[in-house]
Each structure stands twice: as C-alpha cells, then as structure tokens.
Amino acid sequence: MKQLHEFEIKKMLRLADEAREKAYVPYSGFHVGACLKTGSGAYYLGCNIENASYTPTNCAERTAMFKAVYEGERDFEAIAIISDGINYVAPCGVCRQVLAEFCPPDMPVICADRDGNYEVHELRELIPMAFTKKDIDDSK
C-alpha cells in the first residue's frame, strides 16, 4: 500500500469533514463526506445526496469520484471517508465497485468516525475478488 504521511491523512479528513457538512440527508440524517486525492495532487470532495425513493441516493464516495472522472481524472491515490457515526465508516458495496473500476487495488482507503479517528485499508481488502475490466477483457 502506498504510504500516506499523517499530515496528508489529516488534511484529507479535514476536507472530507467539510464535504460532510454539505450532505443532503432529510431522510436518514446521516451525513457522510469524502475526499478523493488524484495522482495530479487535486482533491475532489463529495457528500451523500439522498432521495425520497432511496435508490437514486448517491453516496459521498461516488459523488467525489464522478466529479473527478467528469474533470478528466483517471489516476487516484487515496480516499478518505468520514460520517456522523461512532464507528469507522467504509464505502458501501456499490461505492467499492466504483472505486475498483478506477483505482488500483492497493489504494489507501481512510475510514474515519465522527471524531476523526481512523483506520487505513487497501481497496483490495474492502472488495476482494472485485469484478473489473480485466475480467471482461479476459473473457474475449
């Protein structure tokens, strides 16, 4: 796993916390923020955005990723996620699949609680046996 300096982790968590404040969560009241760092050094922030029918709800991680991809980014170094919860928050299954599409398996995923305590995992730990482009290419 690429090593991140403590300073970088704290910076990303601060930015993710700022993004968390922008969450639109009238149904769950559960605010989540994410900070995605690219290889170019840019940071993309995202928050969760709920919808009354739930299925169209978008998570913070995907909001950050889709903003970055829209801007042309394709090289990602790390993501930090923070929530209102007392437990470390990790990406949901859909977000893990989206991260697996664009990020290297050894990318650090920083999972934090509401107080900024955190754990760092490699993406591959969170989605073992991920279905990726390689699986499609290998089937041809």
Residue of 6, 18, 21, 61 marked catalytic:
61
Q: Is the dihedral of CA 42, 48, 51, 56 positive or negative?
A: positive
Task: Work out how many domains the chain is built from and give that number.
Answer: 1
Residue 96 three-state SS: helix
Residue 60 three-state SS: helix
Rounded to an integer, what distance in angstroms lies between the CA atom of residue 139 and that of residue 57? 32
Residue 93 has pLDDT above 90, yes or no: yes
For residue 131, the domain's CATH number is 3.40.140.10
Q: Is residue 124 in a domain?
A: yes
Q: Is residue 66 in a domain?
A: yes
Residue 1 has pLDDT above 90, yes or no: no
Residue 19 has pLDDT above 90, yes or no: yes
State pLDDT tens for residues 108-122.
999 999 999 999 999
Burial of 32 (0-12, 13-18, 19+ CB in 10 A): buried
Question: What pLDDT was estimated at residue 38?
Answer: 97
Listed residue (122, 113, 96, 102) closest to 32, CA to CA? 113
Rounded to an integer, what distance in angstroms lies between the CA atom of residue 76 and that of residue 80? 12
Question: What pLDDT was estimated at residue 137?
Answer: 87
Q: Is residue 1 in a domain?
A: no
Structure tokens at 95: 């977000």
Residue 2 has pLDDT above 80, yes or no: no
| Parent domain of 59 | 6-138
State pLDDT tens for residues 51-77.
999 889 999 999 999 999 999 999 999
Question: What pLDDT was estimated at residue 45?
Answer: 98
- Percent of the chain clearing pLDDT 70 (strictly above): 99
| Predicted TM-score of the model (pTM) | 0.93
Question: What pLDDT was estimated at residue 98?
Answer: 97
Determine whether 122 is an active site residue: no
Question: What pLDDT was estimated at residue 138?
Answer: 84
Question: What pLDDT was estimated at residue 10?
Answer: 97
